[in-house]
Structure 1
Amino acid sequence: MKPVWPVWGFVALFALPLHAAEHAVGSHAADSSQIRQLVERFKGAIRARDGETMHSLFLPGGSWLQGLDKASLAKVRTREPKARQFIPGNYEQFAKFVGSSPKPIEETFDNVRIETDGVVGTVYFDYRFLADGKVTNHGAETWQLVNTDDGWKISAMLFSVVLDDNP
């Protein structure tokens, strides 16, 4: 014999997913705000040359990949003939670079776009990297994010590199 659900039980069963969806929509603004704060901490750590803070923004074991545009790759290959277009790295190397830079460094972000469901998220933007006040490279950058018990963390970073000509 099949169980018979009272009408209220049937309605309650289907109301739960709707309530959860409303909650996710309601938390979207708060999560987006927290992700914007992560972006600001990232930029601040670069300006302050604070490698420890930079390190703390990443999820251990995440991925990192940079890709040179064709013109930049050709420039690099004049000095390093075996240079690759796509170069893996890691956030630990970047945090060390940030913490040990002898010159002022900064990264500017334009056209920042954030998407999240509260569990995972993405940030996509155009960037310019400056060393000693001069733009050294620019491109597009994207982060894959996860919302951990310790807040939002960068789990993967992918960015293009267009080298700028500086004397």
Structure 2
Amino acid sequence: MKNWVALLGLIFLMLFSFQIQAQSSEEEVKAVIEQLFDGMRAKDGQQVGAVFLENAPMQTVIAGENGSKVDSNSVADFVARISQTPEDVQLDERILDYQIQVDGDMAAAWTPYEFYVNGNFSHCGVNSFQLVRTEEGWKIVYIIDTRRKEGC
């Protein structure tokens, strides 16, 4: 009987430890995404670029009358645009929710958002992030988003 109790206790501790590790990874992923948007608000291209794997693709789904198309952008172009944002322009992407899934060194995050320019609503949508844990920490390896002005 004592062996069963000890075995059940060990299994419980292992499951509890796994849950804590998963929560920790989710918080680390969330921190990377927050760093991206904090960098955008600060117009800090270095901070923005630091969260991405060097050649990570960035894409936007553009809805059309006869179906959607996908527009692509490079991280380098995105970082340059953020760095060159005029001083009097404030960019503010507000994440409404984080849905994060982690499997080992891979994570996916689904983040509905609203985007504001100088405090005025611009558009809303959803970001879909794919991240990988590297030697330097979690990095965004792919992002695709949607953008719309209504139905937010």
TM-score normalised by the chain length of structure 2 = 0.79
Name the residue aligned to 2:121: 135
Distance in 1 of aligned mates of 2:76 and 2:114: 21
Q: Does 1:33 align with 2:27?
A: yes
Residue type matched to 2:112 in 1?
D
SS in 2 for 1:129: strand
Higher helix share: 1
Do the aligned residues in 2 keep the contact of 1:27 with 1:118 (CA within 8 Å)?
Answer: no
The Cα offsets for residues 121-167 of structure 1, whole Å up to 9 and x where unpaired, read as: 01101111211111222111100000011110000001011146xxx
Match of 2:78 among 94, 100, 104: 94
CA distance in 2, matches of 1:27, 1:64: 29
How many angstroms apart in 2 are the aligned matches of 1:32 and 1:41? 14
Q: Which stretch shifts more, 153-162 or 128-137?
A: 128-137
Shift >3 Å, 4+ stretches: 21-26
The alignment partner of 2:104 has SS state of coil
- Counterpart of 1:68 (choices 57, 62, 68) is 62
The percent of aligned pairs where both chains have the same amino acid is: 19
Rounded Cα–Cα distance in structure 1 between residues aligned with 2:142 and 2:18: 23
CA contact under 8 A between 1:144 and 1:155: conserved in structure 2?
Answer: yes
**Residue aligning to 2:139:** 153
CA positional deviation for 1:92: 1.6
**Stretches of structure 2 lacking an aligned partner (at least 5 in a row):** 1-10
Name stretches of at least 5 consecutive residues in structure 1 with no aligned partner.
Answer: 1-17, 74-83
Matching of residue 47 in structure 1 with residue 41 in structure 2: yes
- The alignment covers a number of residue pairs equal to 134
Structure 1: distance between partners of 2:122 and 2:129: 21
Shift of 1:42: 1.3
Q: Which has the larger radius of gyration?
A: 1
AA matched with 1:33: E
